[in-house]
Amino acid sequence: MKKSTKRVVVGLSGGVDSSVAAYLLKKEGYEVIGMFMKNWHDESVTISNECPWMEDSTDAMLVAEKLGIPFQAIDLSEAYKERIVDYMFSEYKQGRTPNPDILCNREIKFDIFLKAAEKLNADFVATGHYCQKDTIQKKDKVVHRLLAGADPNKDQSYFLCQLNQEQLSKALFPIGHLQKSEVREIAKAQELVTAEKKDSQGLCFIGKVKLPDFLQQQLKPKRGDILMIPAESPVYQKKMVHVGEEQIEELQLPELESLCIPNTYSSDLGEKVGEHKGAHYYTIGQRKGLNVGGTGKPLFVIATDTQKNIIYTGLGEDHPGLLRSGLFVPSKDLHWIREDLRLEPSQQARFLARIRYRQPLTWATLHMKDKGCYILFDEPQRGIASGQFVAWYDGNETIGSGTIY
């Protein structure tokens, strides 16, 4: 009796990575369906020559035609607005720094899109992400592991750090074992129209967005003060800036909070050096767009207050306001890909961690408490911003993640 063929729906984005993913799956004998996700209709905030959706949709269709696989487009713009765009506006309004790509993977590609694929009786969904997956048996239970992509320059496991076991069980990452150069070679050999197409740098399935224009749809410009906080400000006096591994286990909750909760600034701590057009347009660590001259060293954003519409800045790359030894993730914002490795209150564990894509992994200690997880880095981290995601790893495996307080 002939073995039944597994059906997989590939999210064809119109880029080279998803194109090659579809080719490899077909080559392996899967029944492949290509599907393009249309997530955005408003062209006024995208840069027309940078990855417009119509061009992408056409390229995706041409790839499907070349590979001889069925193709369809699906309009997910309503769900995308509710789950991603509204979330972005809400976060920026509160002075936080969201990562829409991580949410897009959790809420759109591996939820809404996955459900659409299941209606087509698909066994799996596949994407062109540079990451890998394997499956192990642990105490009679199947556990799916999210692993880094083989290409260290393209590893995208960070963007998938909010996936759960159910989502991973349905996910395939066909190009995760390849280098980017190998992917392009395969595309050229198969004469795929996307072979030489440059990578999109924009929001998930939208294209490159002019972020200020995008935000101004709901968050209107509002003039406010730019204040400069001196490096010797008393707000930094009680902050350790380096925590060695030998000190970490001795820290009590008040010390953890001092190290991991963001600094609180007030207008009486600094001097006015300029004005801005809206505190919600700026993020921690930002240098460009302040338009303040005559300071000698460059100014960096170290905090924003969207309630009072104030931007706090520090002078120079070594300003203490840019560096923090730790961060805090409230319990409600903690996510474990490996539920079997979840820490309980009062437990500690050492993991590698990062707070942004392509940031080198660095050692950190997770302190689990009743209120959430305090994460202390061995070396101070630059530009930790509320709303970002921190992800932690065991070697090349992503173990969990959380939204930074």
Copy the structure tokens of residue 378. Answer: 């061995």
Q: For 203, which DSSP code?
A: B
List the one residue out of 58, 47, 50, 73 whose CA is nearest residue 193. 58
| CA 384 to mean position of chain CA atoms | 14
Question: Active-site residue among 104, 131, 260, 373?
Answer: 104
Tell me the two tokens of residue 165.
């076991």
- Catalytic site residue from 51, 204, 260, 373: 204
Instruction: List the strands of the sheet with 310-315, edge to edge.
Output: 271-276, 224-228, 310-315, 299-305
Q: Is 104 a catalytic residue?
A: yes
Tokens, residue 229: 């906080």
Long-range contacts, stretch 263-269, CB < 8 angstroms, 24+ apart: 263/235, 263/236, 263/239, 263/302, 263/303, 263/321, 264/235, 265/227, 265/229, 265/235, 265/302, 265/303, 265/305, 265/312, 267/225, 267/227, 267/308, 267/310, 269/227, 269/229, 269/233, 269/235, 269/312
Provide the token pair at 22.
């579809």
- Catalytic status, residue 373: no
Q: Nearest Cα to 32, choosing from 41, 43, 21?
A: 21
| Cα dihedral: 285, 102, 365, 325 (round 10) | 10
**Distance of alpha carbon 384 from alpha carbon 51, whole angstroms:** 30
Fill in the DSSP letter of residue 85. I
Ranges assigned E (strand) in 217-371: 224-228, 271-276, 299-305, 310-315, 323-330, 334-336, 348-354, 362-368
Q: Which tokens sit at 127?
A: 């994407």
Q: Which residues are catalytic?
A: 104, 204
